[in-house]
Structure 1
């Protein structure tokens, strides 16, 4: 780490230590002691609560060196993606997002690749929460279609899952109208555009039995998608349908698949 990083302010350092201490699975007290030793950070209080142990060790180290380099090196070792393979990508992404809230106040962001990068420093809690949005990070990790972000960036940044899903479903319908030059919506739009005979759009050569089966299946997927998610979110209040992050992630992944299929479509009439 060639660059010299300024010492981390006490209140931010405490939040970082609390975040590391809360990791639980994948990072034991024994692991913490080992990584402190590997980073040449003295561990003056090895038998107390994990986050307090870290705070005391980090605070003493950066006062001695005048920089936060060894602290950042510790975080890179303790939160390296290879350590969390057995716990899944979502679990690891959550850890990174949690730590990035305090780190954003000193203009740093830990990537899911385990490397730090400079960002514009947060000034408010709202700024920090937007920077650490877990749904957005999980969608990025899944490499969802770019049109997902085009239709609902604002909702994603505020973690408004209900409206993020609503805007996502509207985005699929909007793109379908654009590609087909039609103005209807929902199931009538799909039935017209992907009719079994004389369709407007096709997603393959539409010549073999397999092609036609895929064509019909995609039409049924779209009709179900709009019926279950678009119509529901359009007609009931947010308070009546609890939309979790996991629900939003999976629904938006289905929308991404629909967009990728539409990428391959072409108009035949």
Structure 2
């Protein structure tokens, strides 16, 4: 549960993003999202009786009034934050034509929220993070993260497990969770319940494997199959086991090293994309 509050300036900036003339939501979309969040739609001041037409508040000002009215009535940010999660739920942007709009709104929203100590994850969930202190830090943590993950083609499974920790600048947990995700992926493919070395030895047994991604008919194919098992085991020895047995305060990892490790884990996931469960298992 999020316990932080937004002040007037922060709320206005957020409404400026969501109600932006070109890049934000339309008035109709905002109305639908507010209704889904059980937030009252306040009068925008527009008037039209067929003879006289009066322009009301713009989208940003009207949205701000709706949210402030809710806060004043409930003395809580609960519905405002629910509105934010509903608005940025990725399920509403699955169409390819909507993807760029979603990325734009999410990035700009997070630039505002990071200064408060909040972020909306790629899953559309609001989380508390370490607050950014400067605009340069905001740009580095939002733009740089997305750009570096994109440039390195980081696998979606890695992003799923680590992006919230990364935004908190908690690189220890980011690489730890991403490494655990490899074992979970192998368990999902094979149905096995074990962990670590035992899991990989069983899944990639050359005599009785639980999965396959090539026919293992040639020395090269067998070598590649064993190589993937050894890569997974090496990552666990390098990251998972070390993190599991070392106090967090004693295991230092900077951003550049974290990205290198995440890239390695991503490479392993791309191999696992090609793996299938053996038919007889």
Task: Please say if 1:198 is aligned against 2:188.
Answer: no
Partner of 1:253: 263
Q: Match for residue 31 of structure 1?
A: none
Q: Is 2:130 the partner of 1:122?
A: no
TM-score by length of 2: 0.51
- Whether 2:149 is the aligned partner of 1:139: answer yes
Report Cα offsets for 1:134-169 as digits up to 9, x if no partner: 445312221111111111221011121111000000
In the alignment, the residues of structure 2 paired with residue 210 and residue 184 of structure 1 have an alpha-carbon distance, to the nearest angstrom, of 28
Q: Which residue of 2 aligns with 1:173?
A: 183
Tell me how far apart the structure 2 counterparts of residues 206 and 246 of structure 1 sit (CA, whole Å): 36
Give 1:56's aligned residue: none
Inter-partner Cα distance in structure 2 for 1:225 and 1:264: 19
Give the structure 1 partner of residue 197 of structure 2. Answer: 187
CA shift in 2, pair 1:149/1:131, >3 Å:
farther
Q: 2:220 aligns with which of 192, 210, 225?
A: 210
Cα distance between partner residues in 2 of 1:228 and 1:242: 14
Name the structure 2 match of 1:264: 274
How far has the Cα of 1:203 moved from its partner? 2.1
CA distance, structure 2, for counterparts of residue 146 and residue 242 of structure 1: 25
What is the CA deviation profile of residues 32-64 of structure 1, one whole-angstrom value per residue up to 9, with x for unaligned ones? xxxxxxxxxxxxxxxxxxxxxxxxxxxxxxxxx
Give SS of 2:207's match: coil
CA–CA distance in 1 between the matches of 2:200 and 2:138? 35
Give distance in 2, aligned partners of 1:163 and 1:192: 27
Q: Which runs of 5+ in 1 are unaligned?
A: 1-116
Residue matched to 1:51: none
Number of residue-to-residue matches in the alignment:
153
> What do the CA deviations read for 1:100-129 (whole angstroms, capped 9, x no partner)?
xxxxxxxxxxxxxxxxx6723626262654
Alignment of 1:160 with 2:167, yes or no, is: no
- Alpha-carbon deviation of 1:244? 1.1
Given the superposition, is the C-alpha separation of residues 131 and 179 from structure 1 closer, same or farther in structure 2, using an over 3 Å criterion? farther
Displacement of 1:257 in angstroms is 0.7
Instruction: Give structure 1 regions of 4+ aligned residues with deviation exceeding 4 angstroms.
Output: 127-131
Q: Is the 8 A contact 1:180 1:200 kept in 2?
A: yes
Aligned to 2:217, the other structure's residue is in SS state coil
Report the Cα distance in structure 1 between the residues aligned to 2:269 and 2:259, rounded to whole angstroms.
15
Moved more, 188-197 or 148-157: 148-157
Q: Could you state the TM-score of these two structures normalised by the residue count of structure 1? A: 0.53
Question: Residue 154 of structure 2: SS of its match in structure 1?
Answer: coil
**How far apart are residue 237 of structure 1 and its match?**
1.4
- Partner Cα distance (2:221, 2:263) in 1: 23
* RMSD over aligned Cα atoms: 1.9
Shift of 1:221: 1.0
Q: Structure 2 matches for 1:1-269, cutoff 5 A?
A: 119-120=108-109, 122=112, 124=115, 126=131, 129=137, 132-133=140-141, 134-268=144-278, 269=281
